Structure 1
Amino acid sequence: MLNWAPLPRRLRNFMTLLAAMPIALTLVESANAEALRARAATLVRDGLGLDGAECLYVEGSGRWLGRDGDAAQFDCSDFSHPYAHVIRSGKALTLSVGDARTRLDHRAFQTQVARLAANKCLQVRPLRAIDGDQEWLGVLMMIGERDALTALNDEPGMAAFEALLCRLWARLSREQGERHRTRALRDSLAKLNDGARRQTLADQLAEDLLGQSMAMHTLRRQVVRAAETNLAVLLQGETGTGKDRVARALHQLSARSKGPFMAINCAAIPEALLESELFGHSKGAFSGADQAQEGLISQADGGTLFLDEVGDMPLALQAKLLRVLESGRYRPLGASEERCADLRIVSATHQPLREHIRAQQFRADLYYRLGQFPLTLPPLAERRDDIAQLAQSFITDFCQREERVEMGITPAALRLLHGRDYPGNVRELKNLIDYACAMTAQGTDIDAYVLPGELDNDAPVNTTLPTSGGAYALPDSIDDLRQALRDVESDIIRQRLLHFGGNRAQTAESLGLPKRTLAHKCQLLELDTK
């Protein structure tokens, strides 16, 4: 051992620094965070002559402490082991092995100290990144004599060692995370080339996303492609096109299918409550917060979070959501520390987000982050060939739900449905079918006369027909008299059939027509049941 005491102070400090260089080089040469932790523990144990040393790490969610090469985990909120005390307080803790055995009853911790002498001491020191978000990295646990461990509290060399360890640990963790994301993206792109398997999955999707039109074939193939990546998906399209069903299909086909699927409608929850619903809150965070509550982001950890009507999210929350997308980190309301969540976000909107961006009502950076994989759902007007299949599916659902005998639908009714406009898209069609099923007698098929007429959005039309006598309200302008008379006659017969529950004999008698004449008119006006 060299005696540097006679040397000037600056030179003595420099010589001390040179002596520490091999330690620093040993740490710097670590290939990954696990190797770094092992080398650091060995250097501390051998350099200080301790009985043992070990680095424990905080895993990705921030909830657990793990040990390299051991399946045991320590809950950071469980104070039956000393690591939780250190993580919560941010201060080193020193206690004797004897006290640890009698005061702390955590099973995994007791196994860890079972073979130690009772007169030895434990010291647990917090390890936290010193820059950026100052996230928790883990703890350093050392075993030795009390005097030796206590002396480390005021030792500048120990503080410098920990600072170097934390800086290298944080850097290696970031590099490992980047390599993991790169590898995941590469694997995702490789899956895109598996055409046969994707087609099989797309065919399976046809059971949930109904329709044999080209628009639906294209949509199902895009859903399969999106599900095989880790990209955020933005669903756009008119209201009633089935964005919620597509979101669930994305989750079920993804690698996260065994995880939770959580959904929230951003337009249906008041702005004051939306942040708490998403991020959660701690006890006492605001008036009425009598207990802590996990938000949907936490509940969706390991799975998928579906944000419906994301275009209605307030600007303040948009910034916080962007941070979750970029780093996976968030802070519950009233909490002092951040948490991590591993989840995929699928969002949906019928609003023109680009116009909202120009009006400064939606963040452009969030739009591009949400829309890594954009999907546009086709309106029903672009897939009219699917109306018959959709109608029969809705009829079957109604009969099962209402415990009715299975019914069908007449060609005349299908022709009427095919010619309608659907501003509400598939949802509007379903409501029409449910109404028609309810108005159809047991044992008969849905006929055209039970389907309600279309409403003019510009000027409400009085479709109420008199049961006897009276004038019929005609449109203000008529370009084709024959067609106008045909429409009036069709409406009168349809309403009268509806009034008599489809009984043609009573309908013919009420209109002063022979039954044969009524049947002929029903055929001409496409009100026939054949």
Structure 2
Amino acid sequence: MTEPAVPTTAGSALSAELSAMPLALTLVESLSAAALRQRSATLLQRHLGLALAECLYIDGSGRWLGRDVGEDQFDCGDFHHPYAHVIRSGKPLLLSVADARIRLDHPGFQSQVASLGASLHLHIRPLRGGQSGREWLGVIVLAGTQARLKVLAEDPGMAAFEGLLCRLWTRLAREQGERHRSQILQDSLTKLNDGARRQALADRLAEDLLGHSNAMQALRRHIVRAAETNLAVLLQGETGTGKDRVARAMHQLSARAEGSFMAINCAAIPETLLESELFGHGKGAFSGAEHAREGLISQADGGTLFLDEIGDMPLALQAKLLRVLESGRYRPLGENEERCADLRVVAATHQPLREQIKEQRFRADLYYRLGQFPITLPPLSERRDDIAQLAQSFITDFCAREGRDEMGITPAALRLLYRREYPGNVRELKNVIDYACAMTPHDADIDTYLLPGEQGGFLTGSGLEETPPPGEDATLALPNDIVDLRQAMRDIESIIIRQRLNRFGGNRAQTAQSLGLPKRTLAHKCQLLELDIK
């Protein structure tokens, strides 16, 4: 390699060149420590005819020397490179490139000097700043002829240049540290504001996704987070947990809220028609296709496509859906040209997709592509604290839908709802409430005898079954797992009194006479048993 020409300027001329005003201004105009280091190296290499000039900086930990060009880092305690010797001793070091290649085997250092001629020398100088000059900044490495480097080592212009470099470096580093601290503070405030905004959105969701339980609060927070992204969402959970409502709420909170929300139940449409429903078809694509038709993917362009019961999608169609998710491209049935769609996919299933993958009934690649943001919906058994709020909401909806007067629900009936098991989750609870509302007389509240039982009868608080109609005496089926005899006796007494009250149209005098009780005693029992029939 041809060595750089050595200028013939004397030391005093060199001093004047390095301390020239334009060069100083170039350094002063640097906006960051990294820019300062790069400008300094460029000026030295260009004006002094050096083969290499570079500033290395010590990172915040004090352990590593970093480079602004390249990704190499040098451990300050690793003496396989010369920078460690300079850092440890605090003194400049002059060595030949040939000697460095023989004695030092650090791969990063060797790659740094690989392009230098063997006859050149390296001059490595420590750089310190601060008022006392004890604040380590880094090192500067210069490569050139031995004669030139010796002149630079003794030149006052070089010393002045280094002094200016270190002062500017120290100032910029401190300013950068202050900006960094300011940015951390700003980021913290932004996070607080984001947290407040997200909480406000989650609270707004509570108007549609009811429930004050911890499980529902966590679910609403997940929905807000998912709505902020364009990631595909996979909703998993038992049947009846409200996956369709969650999907729609996510769409309404997202940046795609102005677009269409298109939904399809993959289990409700025959396999032969499902592809056409999704991708659309051209005229004459199959028998009966007299007109071209846009599919749901096209209609959801710019919006959200909700695929319910994705676990029932045929394998062949899964592969085509995967292509849409990965490339945004699809082809309607019977057409030759591809189309593009920008949509967000939300899929839902109550089936164990991992088990289906093992049985080769669901594609693993589609599962992972759909599950970029997985959300599991809690069953009603994990949010029993929400039953009262849900029940009252369903009662209100029924009355508005059916034009009925407002009605309530008795504490006894509510206790029964708390104890009940719900394989169908919230959907089952709604069906129970709708049935009870339909069976409740006008100007009355839902009571225990109006709630449908698991076997088609009526459940009481202790699990006793009472066969309708309520106007006739019922045959009581006593369970074998009674653990509280007193409570069971109270429940039996409640059933009998309620049936007699119904038989006599709520007339307590006739009911008391038929049971051989004083009217005052019957009134007291009705109060104790929370029987609200007048």
Same fold (TM over 0.5): yes
Q: Are residue 464 (structure 1) and residue 464 (structure 2) matched? A: no
- Aligned CA distance change for structure 1 residues 442 and 469 (closer, same or farther; 3 Å): closer
Which 5+ residue runs of structure 1 have no aligned equivalent? 1-189
Equivalent in the alignment of 1:177 = none
Give the conservation status (yes or no) of the 8 Å contact 1:500–1:506.
Answer: yes
Equivalent in the alignment of 2:419 = 419
Which 5+ residue runs of structure 2 have no aligned equivalent? 1-189, 458-462
Secondary structure at the aligned position of 2:346 is classed as: strand
- Whole-angstrom CA distance in 2 between matches of 1:414 and 1:471: 23
1:125-153 Cα deviation digits (max 9, x unpaired): xxxxxxxxxxxxxxxxxxxxxxxxxxxxx
Give the AA of the match of 2:259.
G
Secondary structure at the aligned position of 2:305 is classed as: strand
Equivalent in the alignment of 2:234 = 234
Please identify, of 495-504 and 262-271, the stretch whose mean Cα deviation from structure 2 is larger: 495-504
Q: Are residue 304 (structure 1) and residue 307 (structure 2) matched? A: no
Deviation for aligned residue 1:504: 4.9
- Aligned CA distance change for structure 1 residues 219 and 468 (closer, same or farther; 3 Å): closer
Give the structure-2-normalised TM-score: 0.58
- Whole-angstrom CA distance in 2 between matches of 1:492 and 1:465: 12
Give the conservation status (yes or no) of the 8 Å contact 2:307–2:348.
Answer: yes
Equivalent in the alignment of 1:86 = none
Deviation for aligned residue 1:469: 7.1
Please identify, of 444-453 and 478-487, the stretch whose mean Cα deviation from structure 2 is larger: 478-487
- Whole-angstrom CA distance in 2 between matches of 1:236 and 1:338: 32
Secondary structure at the aligned position of 1:375 is classed as: strand
- Aligned CA distance change for structure 1 residues 191 and 310 (closer, same or farther; 3 Å): farther
Q: What percent identity do the matched residue pairs reach? A: 81
- Whole-angstrom CA distance in 1 between matches of 2:377 and 2:237: 5
Deviation for aligned residue 1:520: 3.8
Give the AA of the match of 1:464.
T
1:447-502 Cα deviation digits (max 9, x unpaired): 33322334399xx9974268667864444676666555444444444555566666
- Aligned CA distance change for structure 1 residues 510 and 356 (closer, same or farther; 3 Å): farther
- Aligned CA distance change for structure 1 residues 387 and 339 (closer, same or farther; 3 Å): same
1:177-225 Cα deviation digits (max 9, x unpaired): xxxxxxxxxxxxx999821211111111111111111111111111000
1:396-415 Cα deviation digits (max 9, x unpaired): 11111112222222222222
- Whole-angstrom CA distance in 1 between matches of 2:267 and 2:245: 18
| RMSD over aligned Cα atoms | 3.0
Give the conservation status (yes or no) of the 8 Å contact 1:198–1:224.
Answer: yes
Give the conservation status (yes or no) of the 8 Å contact 2:262–2:305.
Answer: yes
- Whole-angstrom CA distance in 1 between matches of 2:514 and 2:273: 58
Q: Are residue 384 (structure 1) and residue 387 (structure 2) matched? A: no
Give the AA of the match of 1:236.
Q
Secondary structure at the aligned position of 1:430 is classed as: helix
- Aligned CA distance change for structure 1 residues 216 and 339 (closer, same or farther; 3 Å): same
- Whole-angstrom CA distance in 2 between matches of 1:296 and 1:303: 11
Equivalent in the alignment of 1:38 = none
Alignment of 1:130-141 (within 5 A): none
- Whole-angstrom CA distance in 1 between matches of 2:512 and 2:193: 64
- Whole-angstrom CA distance in 1 between matches of 2:293 and 2:350: 31
Alignment of 1:293-442 (within 5 A): 293-442=293-442
- Aligned CA distance change for structure 1 residues 207 and 462 (closer, same or farther; 3 Å): closer
Alignment of 1:33-432 (within 5 A): 194-432=194-432
- Whole-angstrom CA distance in 2 between matches of 1:469 and 1:387: 31
Q: How many residues align?
A: 339
Give the AA of the match of 1:297.
I
Q: For the pair shown, which has the larger CA radius of gyration, 1 or 2? A: 2
Q: Are residue 451 (structure 1) and residue 451 (structure 2) matched? A: yes
- Whole-angstrom CA distance in 1 between matches of 2:320 and 2:405: 52
Give the conservation status (yes or no) of the 8 Å contact 1:329–1:339.
Answer: yes
Give the AA of the match of 2:275.
E
Deviation for aligned residue 1:381: 1.2
Give the structure-1-normalised TM-score: 0.58
- Aligned CA distance change for structure 1 residues 246 and 453 (closer, same or farther; 3 Å): same
